[in-house]
């Protein structure tokens, strides 16, 4: 069972993803609502996969991604962003994100991305 950390400042998004992932072979081991919490949770939980929102208060997803990649260059991070964030998605992919999901997303899209990890 793959262990997942969900990072998004919107509780609704975290809950939606958690419900989707629990239907399949994924265990949601933690949640964070900003990049600072994401880094702390990553160090503590060492998940297999991290879902990372791009725009969050205190520290955004791109900066958090950079820090997590420094801790583990082979970590599987999936960025989640609104459709207008193409530049940020490209930045994230260059830093080391494995894939991205555009908001609003469907369950099919989430599993299509996760099955490639």
Q: What is the pLDDT of residues 17-28, one digit of tens each?
A: 999 999 998 999
Domain membership of residue 83 as a residue range: 2-114
In whole angstroms, what is the distance from residue 77 CA to residue 54 CA?
Answer: 12
Q: E-strand spans in 1-117? A: 2-7, 26-32, 49-53, 76-82, 99-103
Average pLDDT of the segment spanning 1-23:
96
This prediction's pTM: 0.95
Query: What CATH number does the domain containing 85 carry?
Result: 3.40.50.2300
Q: What is the total residue count of the chain? A: 117
* DSSP SS3 for 100: strand
In whole angstroms, what is the distance from residue 95 CA to residue 69 CA?
Answer: 8
* DSSP SS3 for 29: strand
Q: How many domains does the chain have?
A: 1
What average pLDDT is seen over the chain? 95
In whole angstroms, what is the distance from residue 32 CA to residue 34 CA?
Answer: 6
């Amino acid at each position: 069972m793959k262990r997942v950390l969900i990072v998004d400042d919107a509780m609704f998004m975290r809950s939606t993803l958690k419900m989707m992932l629990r239907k399949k072979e994924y265990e949601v081991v933690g949640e964070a609502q900003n990049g600072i919490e994401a880094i702390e949770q990553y160090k503590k939980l060492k998940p297999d996969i991290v879902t990372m929102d791009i725009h969050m208060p205190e520290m955004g997803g791109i900066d958090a991604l950079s820090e997590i990649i420094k801790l583990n260059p082979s970590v599987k991070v999936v960025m989640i962003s609104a459709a207008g964030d193409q530049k940020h998605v490209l930045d994230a992919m260059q830093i080391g994100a494995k894939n991205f999901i555009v908001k609003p997303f469907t369950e099919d899209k989430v599993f299509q991305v996760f099955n490639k990890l």
